[in-house]
Structure 1
Amino acid sequence: MVSTLHYPVNQEGHLTIAGADAVELAKEYGTPVIAYNIDLVRQRARKFKDTFDELNVKSQVAYASKAFSSIAIYQVMKEEGLSLDVVSGGELYTALKADFPPDKIHFHGNNKSYQELEMAFDANIGCIVVDNFDELLTLRQLTKERKQRMAILLRVTPGIEAHTHTYITTGQQDSKFGFDLGNGQADEAFRLVYDDEYIEVLGLHCHIGSQIFETNGFVAAAEKLLLKMQQWNETYQYTCPVLNLGGGFGIRYTDEDEPLSPEIYVKEMVLAIKRLSNESAFPLPEIWIEPGRSLVGDAGTTLYTIGSQKKIPGTRHYVAVDGGMSDNIRPALYQAKYDAKVANRMTAPTNHIVTIAGKCCESGDKLIEDLSIPEVQTGDILAMFSTGAYGYAMASNYNRLPRPAVVFVEGGQSQLVIRREVYEDIVRNDLSLYESEEK
């Protein structure tokens, strides 16, 4: 086995994923296909958990499953002892189908429906992360009607703007998420429920953004949240046992990205919280975090088959693949950057600058601009890296394209975990205008 930059290559000059030949994966499962290196997913999960254990801190590491939700990935997280963050009834349903322990499920979202909340109560999940006053009042009603207790976290916006894209910052004051920490909303929410008969306030939650490459924002958020919990302790003699700092830990998409290791994120947060706890004489809370992208993002690689090409002399060379914004909308949505290689020609000279175009009927369906690759021809396999988060999760049937297959690769062995959609799936819920006549 040899290596080309970050990517392992076998003796045939093919890319490998968790020990499996990527070209053979493309042949076996067809393209587009998203192949996950589950060895890497497990390694990351253990690094987060083990670092908390080494620092002797009570914790929960919850997989933020909006990054990629499926029965199989939930089963992997269950095997690794993680908790689970869901944001919809559909994700909760999937988690229950995966037999994920309900007491380790945390339900997020800024507009949970009454039916979704009832579903959470029926499953007796571990925690609901409350986002607004409407939800808080609904929860009070539900708990009293059902005479059923529920643990909650109050999500707050700490007024911290992470260094990331505008669309994926969530901790600043102008956000659709959470109670504002600075204008008294969080205090009012706490007063409504801290002594409620059926609601247990575990503590505070925040999420300051995504794709964050430094720890200062997390430390600043911890300071603000811990100070507020200390104030409530002094005023109401109520000790919140949990501090949840969310996720947003960055990954490598291109050589421009320099992410920190899981250990560094955890150590910096824990050390800061321990220091603040000692200074304020406030009991050290249990620390929860919610990695999503950092668990599965760079573990995923999308394999495409190269199709047509268009050369515009002096302007651009387009190379089209058999997927695009229907399976990865991030480049079109917020100019996300990716790296890619020709999986069957990993050791060939990269002497052509091209733009990778998708097959959707949109001029903006361009996956990568100015990519350096070898000369290619129809049938070559393009491997686009770090597509494991918010690729399949945000996939659509735009242009009535079927969504891709998903395979897990572990120890050189692959397994299909999501079947490729077929055209019958596309029309499954369609009704004929003449249905009654046809009957």
Structure 2
Amino acid sequence: MKTPFVTLEQVEELVKEYPTPFHLYDEKGIRENARKLKEAFSWNKGFREYFAVKATPNPFLLKILQEEGCGTDCSSMTELMMSEALGFQNKDIMFSSNVTPEEEYVKAKELGAFINLDDFTHIEFLERTCGIPETIFCRYNPGGFFKLGTDIMDNPGDAKYGFTKEQLIEGFKILKSKGVKNFGIHSFLASNTVTNEYYPMLAKVLFELAVEVKEKTGADIKYINLSGGVGIPYKPDQEGNDIMEIGIGVKKAFEEILVPNGMGDVSIFTELGRFMLAPYGCLVTKVIHQKHIYKEYIGVDACAVNLMRPAIYGAYHHISVLGKEDAACDFKYDVTGSLCENNDKFAIDRMLPKINIGDYLVIHDTGAHGFAMGYNYNGKLKSAEVLLKEDGSAQLIRRKETPEDYFATFDFCDILKDVKY
């Protein structure tokens, strides 16, 4: 059973000022989760979380994470600019990009960010573009399939990211000859894992790799970045990760592999996005239509523009009908938006309480890769983002888009200036 962090009474007050749909975030939950992650890795004196900005690029939320000691993981120019504007600087920023334009490397170098190279050919590209810094990370791709138990399988060999092991070893030799003094290794093998075994297994792979690379290159490996991949239980019957157990598992691998090889001072980094924020955000939407044809449809005022994961992945997001949390789920519905696409559905054949027009729905776990993936198909406008603060008050942290925003990039804006809407 998933319980919303907001009540019907709270939403009825919120909508007086912020009409649906809107994304709502829970400040208390965000802060508590960040502190728990930090505690789980407190055994490593250099540990730091670099929040994946792409998951939830909102400056108010980044500021909360900054206050909790997190850095930012950026993948584009605008994410670097946002981090800079918020006061993240130097080693507060990890720049992990691929197919990277010159100007983005230049910006990252100007900021003094950690640069994480995605490809062997980027060594020469970076040197020609802006020069090679004294500290550099390289992303490792082990190839083949990554399998963990019966549930987790991914295919690094089909991913566009990273160096092969041979390229990594040769790359470290080249970078060392060009003046690099401090090295980091980064890898990402699987997405949204709901198991306490993923990070420890990834850590073992990277720790053993670090020992081998150090032996073969003499590189001083200061950092190992476990990246993201620790997921959340989107379905109510799933058991979530225990970050404390995960921290213990990584510590065990650290003490078994790195410490005996004289690498006990290596700092561990993470780049979590979904784990950090997804459960602490939801999409609040209002039922505006019902349709009775071959199936029963519930039409809401949100659509895939506001949350596209169900449309593109068939991803499950739990839905609560506010005020009916304890009611029997004995009605089967498709919950849909208004786009001219049949995949614009938040749920298909979902058992829910009886829904009436005017009911408010909470679509859970949208705090990461929710608003961030929005778009403007059908001329739809992105919704507002609202923060439910620790003291119970609400703060608008991104206003909803307006038609003026949508038209602003057209050269013929003057033609539209007198249009009424």
How much is the aligned-residue C-alpha RMSD, in angstroms? 2.5
Q: Tell me the SS of whatever aligns to 2:157.
A: coil
Which letter does structure 1 place at the counterpart of 2:79? Answer: E
Matched, 1:104 2:101: no
1-structure distance, mates of 2:379, 2:4? 35
Report the CA distance between 1:173 and its aligned residue.
2.0
1:128 is matched with 115
1:211-360 to 2 correspondences below 5 Å: 211-312=192-293, 315-360=294-339
1:141 is matched with 128
1:45-124 to 2 correspondences below 5 Å: 45-53=34-42, 55-124=43-112
Distance 1:31 1:79, change over 3 A: same
Gaps of 5+ in 1: none
Distance 1:150 1:116, change over 3 A: farther
Distance 1:434 1:428, change over 3 A: closer
Distance 1:8 1:300, change over 3 A: closer
Report the CA distance between 1:143 and its aligned residue.
4.4
Bigger CA drift: 386-395 or 95-104?
A: 95-104
Which letter does structure 1 place at the counterpart of 2:396? Answer: L
Q: Deviations over 1:308-354 (max 9, x none)?
A: 11123xx4211011111111111111110011111244344433211
Contact 2:385 2:396 in 1 (8 A): yes
Report the CA distance between 1:91 and its aligned residue.
0.9
1-structure distance, mates of 2:86, 2:12? 30
Q: Tell me the SS of whatever aligns to 2:350.
A: strand
1:195 is matched with 177
2-structure distance, mates of 1:306, 1:163? 41
1:389-408 to 2 correspondences below 5 Å: 389-408=368-387
Report the CA distance between 1:162 and its aligned residue.
5.4
Report the CA distance between 1:238 and its aligned residue.
2.5
2-structure distance, mates of 1:141, 1:98? 30
Contact 1:308 1:378 in 2 (8 A): yes
1-structure distance, mates of 2:26, 2:414? 47
Distance 1:44 1:370, change over 3 A: same
Report the CA distance between 1:426 and its aligned residue.
0.9
Q: Tell me the SS of whatever aligns to 1:233.
A: helix
Report the CA distance between 1:246 and its aligned residue.
0.9
Identity of aligned residues (%): 27
Which letter does structure 2 place at the counterpart of 1:416? Answer: L
Report the CA distance between 1:433 and its aligned residue.
9.9
Which letter does structure 2 place at the counterpart of 1:42? Answer: R
Report the CA distance between 1:254 and its aligned residue.
1.4
Contact 2:44 2:267 in 1 (8 A): no
Q: Tell me the SS of whatever aligns to 1:121.
A: helix
1-structure distance, mates of 2:96, 2:77? 10
2-structure distance, mates of 1:215, 1:180? 27
Contact 2:338 2:344 in 1 (8 A): yes
2:164 is matched with 180
Contact 1:157 1:170 in 2 (8 A): no
1:423 is matched with 403
Which letter does structure 1 place at the counterpart of 2:82? Answer: T
1-structure distance, mates of 2:147, 2:76? 25
Q: Deviations over 1:212-243 (max 9, x none)?
A: 02243433332332223222322333320111
Which letter does structure 2 place at the counterpart of 1:194? Answer: K
Distance 1:400 1:200, change over 3 A: farther
Matched, 1:37 2:33: no
Contact 2:25 2:281 in 1 (8 A): yes
Report the CA distance between 1:107 and its aligned residue.
0.5
1-structure distance, mates of 2:344, 2:297? 11
Report the CA distance between 1:402 and its aligned residue.
0.6
Q: Tell me the SS of whatever aligns to 2:17.
A: helix
Q: Tell me the SS of whatever aligns to 1:310.
A: strand
Contact 1:143 1:150 in 2 (8 A): no
Report the CA distance between 1:171 and its aligned residue.
6.5
Distance 1:425 1:344, change over 3 A: farther
Which letter does structure 2 place at the counterpart of 1:373? Answer: L
Bigger CA drift: 277-286 or 359-368?
A: 277-286
Which letter does structure 2 place at the counterpart of 1:223? Answer: K
Which letter does structure 2 place at the counterpart of 1:193? Answer: L
1:203-214 to 2 correspondences below 5 Å: 203-214=184-195
How many pairs are equivalent? 413
Which letter does structure 1 place at the counterpart of 2:241? Answer: L
Q: Tell me the SS of whatever aligns to 2:158.
A: coil
2:388 is matched with 409
Q: Deviations over 1:72-110 (max 9, x none)?
A: 111111100111101111111111122223321000111
Question: Runs (4+) of structure 1 moved beyond 6 Å?
Answer: 168-171
TM-score by length of 2: 0.91
Which letter does structure 2 place at the counterpart of 1:80? Answer: E
Distance 1:284 1:275, change over 3 A: farther
